[in-house]
Structure 1
Amino acid sequence: MTTPHEALLPATRRALLHRIAVAQTEGRAPSLVAAVVRGGQAVWHGARTSVDGHGPDENVQYRIGSITKTFTAVLVMRLRDEGLLDLGDPLEKHLPGTGAGEATIAQLLAHTAGLAAESPAPWWERTPGSLRPELGDVLGEQPLLHPVGRRHHYSNPGYTVLGALVEELRGAPWEEVLRAEILERLGLRRTSAQPEPPSAGGWAVHPWADALLPEPLEDLGRMAPAGQLWSTTGDLARFAAFLARGDDRVLSAESVLEMRTPAAPAEAADVLEGTGYGLGMQIQRRDGGLLVGHSGSLPGFLANLTIGVEDDVAAVVLANCTSGPLLGAVGADLVRIVAEAEPRIPEPWRPLREVEPAALELAGQWYWGTHAFGLRVTADGLIALGPLTGGGRRARFRSLGDGTWMGLEGYYAGELLRPVRRPDGSLSHLDLGSFVFTRQPYDTEAPVPGGVDPEGWRGL
């Protein structure tokens, strides 16, 4: 039996290698590399074929395209956490004159600002960034295609705007801020805006012949915050561990959780596919599990970073081809292979260090109307309320220190749970956002909204 930080079992490693081998062969990728993270540590690296005549390892750079957006989003969240902006601020407050100033920072992060998907022609991914030296060249004369905040419409220019926002509030170039505030603090020494050897060349693979065509390598200029970065499976494995757990040197666990919480309205196709978008992170419900992360592509390169939240397993997959292997599916499969072959070992149960009488008094069975709920006091100092049978609203609550408790998730996130006492000091009921929870169904001694029939329970 392995612990989370030990190497994977031989059968698991072979299954992972088989999956990327199939992806590389069937997708006809010149090379493909991958890594798996479990428990915050890289536990497996794999590669197929070669770069410059050598088998690529975890230190060979590939271009990661739109995974760059997640890095940019982290920089914006740091500004928020420092109080330099609010996610509800309109862009105009901090970066005037863009033509998209009514959109909020949160809407830009979630691709709901109504901006176009691409910058005006020519195709920005295959032409020099010098063609778009100013922000106006990226946004065009009419930046907004949709009403602000009404729909999710993926926008590369939106993240160019966010990069400009970072530069404005930090007073330094985006790349310089990125290096100082994320790359150096997380030890991502092989992540850079320009390729640093050893690095893979980008290729187009002929759709009807096993022939290659080199793709041009362009500096994206102003568009850099949307897709410029190069990185390795080693560095992205460390970045995935950060996105799963947070790191107070960069961003707290609470803020990272906020990034991977849905923030964009779901359209019909998204609902059917189980996909969504948070604040710089893609979200997918697959095989009953929650996957978060981001994909990336630029001419010559494909990239994917996938985190299985419940299983605490992440995967990184990189390839140097314009199209071919479906890396999102590969990443999800790598997470599934580890989760199924070596299920996560739960943390040992431990009792409370100190028993808080006021919290312990709340424990036990409660009723909202006729719905039975259980309230437990957990070892982390929280209380958890949830239905005793079937589905329903459940949440954990954190003490505010004044006898009340704040909801942390789901329907009750931010709602106040207030124990209400009788004149003699005994516990009468719980008030949760106007819902009254009582020790007995429709307790006649509690102020149940609408009152309780004085004749009580009866037969029919």
Structure 2
Amino acid sequence: MPLRPETARQVDAMVADAQRAGHAPSLIIGVVRDGALAHLAAAGTQPSPDADLQYRIGSITKTMTAVLVMQERDAGKLALDDQLRRHLPEAAAAGRVTLRQLLGHAGGLQREPDGPWWERNEGVDLTTLLTGFTAAKVAHPPYRYWHYSNLAFGLLGGVLERTTGTPWSQLVRQRILEPLGLRRTTYAATEPFARGYVLHPWHDTLREEPRTDSRAMAPAGQLWSTVTDLARWAAFLADPDPAVLSPATVEEMCAPVILSDLDAWRGGYGLGIQLTRDGDRVHVGHGGSMPGYVATLAVHRPSRTGVVGFANSYGLRTGGIGPLGHRILTHVLDVEPGPTRPWTPAEAGTVRGDRVSRYAPEGPDRWRGVSGVENGEVLTVLRDEAGRPVALDIATFVFTRDPDGEP
């Protein structure tokens, strides 16, 4: 459903103001609702942006790497609490650092790999990345601090390669891009694409930035995409396709592993997913930057609303594209909270109330909670001497049809 005309006008104005104040050659933002692109706002002329124009997405790539790891976990090929050294013995110096900690930037690894700045130089293969991996790569004990690490995601890509026997670039294409129809999301730039620039700080001239192949560090930030494709990815995070990853696993990815903002608790990190609290809402997604490019992805899962966007300069002079995306998402949710769902009568045999839990069978007369306050708890059917069910025992609390509590 398109945005209302006044909301669309306000979003257009926010994007135009940000492009002018931030001195961005081009800036484009898409608003996503209920699985579709609901509005496109663009500003700038170098080049004139549209929904099919590629930009580099930078660290938004990490969200796809994380989905690949969770696919392997769900298939029983690895566990999140596996230590890194189990899959990459060359990284034994990481000690007890686990895959879960790497996904959440809670393992204490240093931010970048050794050598020249990987974002601006041609990358190395996995063997070279792992050469000389020492305990010095661990800057902090696990969970002591949230410490963002591009290196962690390069290593996770190595885990995927070792576990599957398939290069990361092939995995992401076969398991995510093709199934979801992300045809304009590619490993390398594919025309038409926006050239990326750095802006001179004094006289506003542009210099084109390099477009490198980061190779073993590709899982941390290599991919290129468009607003159309990134909108589909936002829709997936809001309402996952079970053929790619189960909704329960995506929900798990969006639960906090660690807080990144200990002062106000406004930011955290899940399993490869950035978490940003805005009032009573939590936005999930990720930011991205590579030389010449910045990108944003923010999704409010309960309303299936999101914002995606790009600019082709390294940062905006006023605030950055990430805060702009969050501001637009908050504004849309404030002024268009979504249609009110009508009340409908309950079906026969159901009970409505504030306390609702669902269960999955686990054995004869035994069920396990899968939602609500009893998630993970055991429900047991109690029977009398004749074998008739007379009560339910839920985590030692006994429920009967008798308001006095007698079976």
Counterpart CA distance in 1 for 2:143 and 2:55 is: 34
- Structure 2 SS opposite 1:129: coil
Structure 1 segment 71-110 matched on structure 2, within 5 A:
71-99=64-92, 100=94, 102-110=96-104
Structure 1 segment 15-164 matched on structure 2, within 5 A:
15-52=10-47, 55-99=48-92, 100=94, 102-130=96-124, 134-137=128-131, 139=133, 142-164=136-158
Structure 1 segment 287-326 matched on structure 2, within 5 A:
287-324=279-316, 325-326=319-320
Aligned residues: 402
Contact 2:109 2:137 in 1 (8 A): yes
Counterpart CA distance in 2 for 1:293 and 1:37 is: 13
- 1:237 CA drift (Å): 0.1
- 1:28 CA drift (Å): 1.3
In the alignment, residue 198 of structure 1 is paired with which amino acid?
P
In the alignment, residue 50 of structure 1 is paired with which amino acid?
T
Contact 2:198 2:292 in 1 (8 A): yes
Match of 1:184 in 2: 178
Contact 1:305 1:317 in 2 (8 A): yes
Pair 1:31–1:344, CA change in 2 (3 A) = same
- Structure 1 SS opposite 2:90: coil
- 1:272 CA drift (Å): 0.8
Counterpart CA distance in 1 for 2:56 and 2:71 is: 25
Counterpart CA distance in 2 for 1:130 and 1:163 is: 13
Counterpart CA distance in 1 for 2:201 and 2:377 is: 55
- 1:233 CA drift (Å): 0.7
Per-residue displacement from partner, 1:101-156 (whole Å, max 9, x unpaired)? 63222222111222111112422212221498623259556322222344422111
- 1:81 CA drift (Å): 1.5
- Structure 2 SS opposite 1:310: helix
Pair 1:349–1:118, CA change in 2 (3 A) = same
- 1:46 CA drift (Å): 1.8
**56-65 or 88-97, which moves further after superposition?**
88-97
Greater Rg by CA: 1
Q: Relative contact order (C-alpha < 8 Å, sep 6+): which is higher?
A: 2
- 1:178 CA drift (Å): 0.8
**113-122 or 272-281, which moves further after superposition?**
113-122
Contact 2:90 2:133 in 1 (8 A): no
Contact 2:58 2:222 in 1 (8 A): yes
Contact 2:57 2:221 in 1 (8 A): yes
Structure 1 segment 243-258 matched on structure 2, within 5 A:
243-258=237-252
Counterpart CA distance in 2 for 1:92 and 1:413 is: 33
Pair 1:16–1:434, CA change in 2 (3 A) = same
Contact 2:88 2:159 in 1 (8 A): yes
Counterpart CA distance in 2 for 1:74 and 1:138 is: 29
Counterpart CA distance in 2 for 1:59 and 1:37 is: 15
Contact 2:238 2:299 in 1 (8 A): yes
- Structure 2 SS opposite 1:165: helix
- 1:354 CA drift (Å): 5.0
Counterpart CA distance in 1 for 2:379 and 2:55 is: 50
Match of 1:369 in 2: none
Contact 1:120 1:138 in 2 (8 A): no
Per-residue displacement from partner, 1:422-452 (whole Å, max 9, x unpaired)? 8897867x654446789999x8x68xxxxxx
Structure 1 segment 397-412 matched on structure 2, within 5 A:
397-400=358-361, 406-408=368-370, 412=374
Contact 1:163 1:225 in 2 (8 A): yes
The one of 275, 278, 290 equivalent to 1:286 is: 278
Per-residue displacement from partner, 1:143-187 (whole Å, max 9, x unpaired)? 222223444221111111111111112212110111111111111
Contact 1:202 1:301 in 2 (8 A): yes
- 1:24 CA drift (Å): 0.9
Counterpart CA distance in 1 for 2:375 and 2:276 is: 21
Name the TM-score, length of structure 1 as normaliser.
Answer: 0.79
Structure 1 segment 323-402 matched on structure 2, within 5 A:
323-324=315-316, 325-353=319-347, 355=349, 376=352, 385=355, 396-400=357-361
Contact 1:98 1:135 in 2 (8 A): no
Per-residue displacement from partner, 1:18-67 (whole Å, max 9, x unpaired)? 11111111111111011111011111112111234xx2111111111100
Identical pairs, percent: 42
- Over the aligned positions, Cα root-mean-square deviation in angstroms equals 2.9
In structure 2, stretches of 5+ residues that fail to align are none
Counterpart CA distance in 2 for 1:396 and 1:288 is: 23
The reply to whether residue 217 of structure 1 matches residue 211 of structure 2 is: yes
In the alignment, residue 320 of structure 1 is paired with which amino acid?
N
Contact 1:246 1:254 in 2 (8 A): no
Contact 1:139 1:157 in 2 (8 A): no
In the alignment, residue 287 of structure 2 is paired with which amino acid?
S
Pair 1:426–1:252, CA change in 2 (3 A) = closer
Counterpart CA distance in 2 for 1:197 and 1:224 is: 20
